[in-house]
């Protein structure tokens, strides 16, 4: 299995997060989604800001644009399964992560990462 590949960086300098997707996937430099299996994980770097209380992960099902899952993850966690984040079936998904000081005060989201989950 390949090591995680950096997929997105775009928070303000105080709240820098690198978003990773693990499962032996490649870096998408084009708008094409990265294809991953059902056991994929979303991983990000922990920022150096001790005020960060957690992360907001947003997952959007591309087949149902109105179906958006938002999860708040505690600051000591920097990995969540794709299913745990809301990508719970095979399909096309958009994923972003934000650093948050509390559940209502978050920095800007990372650049959107497009993934295609498969059943296997």
Q: Which residue has the higher pLDDT, 67 or 29?
A: 67
- The correct CATH number of 5-109 out of 2.60.40.10, 3.40.50.2300, 3.40.50.970, 2.70.70.10 is 2.60.40.10
What digits encode the pLDDT tens for the residues 38-68? 788 999 988 889 999 999 999 999 888 778 9
- Residues in contact with 30: Cβ distance below 8 Å, sequence separation at least 6, in sequence order: none
- Concatenating the DSSP letter of every residue in 76-104 gives T--EEEHHHHT--SSEEEEEEEEEEEETT
pTM comes to 0.71
Q: How far apart are CA 90 and CA 83, in angstroms?
A: 10
Cβ-based burial of 91 (10 A; exposed 0-12, middle 13-18, buried ≥19): middle
- pLDDT-based confidence at residue 17 (cuts at 50, 70, 90): very low
User: Tokens 């990508």 — which residue?
Assistant: 87
Q: Which residue has the higher pLDDT, 24 or 94?
A: 94
Q: Report domain extents, the chain.
A: 5-109
Range name among 13-22, 54-63, 100-109 with the lowest pLDDT average: 13-22
């Amino acid at each position: 299995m390949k090591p995680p590949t950096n997929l997105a960086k775009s928070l303000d300098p105080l709240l820098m997060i690198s978003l990773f997707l693990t499962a032996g996937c490649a870096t998408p430099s084009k708008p094409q989604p990265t294809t991953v299996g059902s056991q994929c994980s979303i991983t990000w770097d922990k920022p150096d800001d001790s005020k960060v209380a957690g992360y907001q992960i947003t997952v959007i099902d591309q087949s149902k644009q109105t179906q958006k899952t938002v999860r708040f993850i505690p600051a000591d966690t920097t990995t969540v399964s794709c299913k745990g984040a809301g990508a719970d079936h095979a399909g096309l998904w958009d994923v972003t992560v934000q650093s948050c000081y509390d559940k209502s005060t978050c920095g800007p989201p990372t650049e959107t990462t497009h993934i295609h989950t498969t059943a296997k």
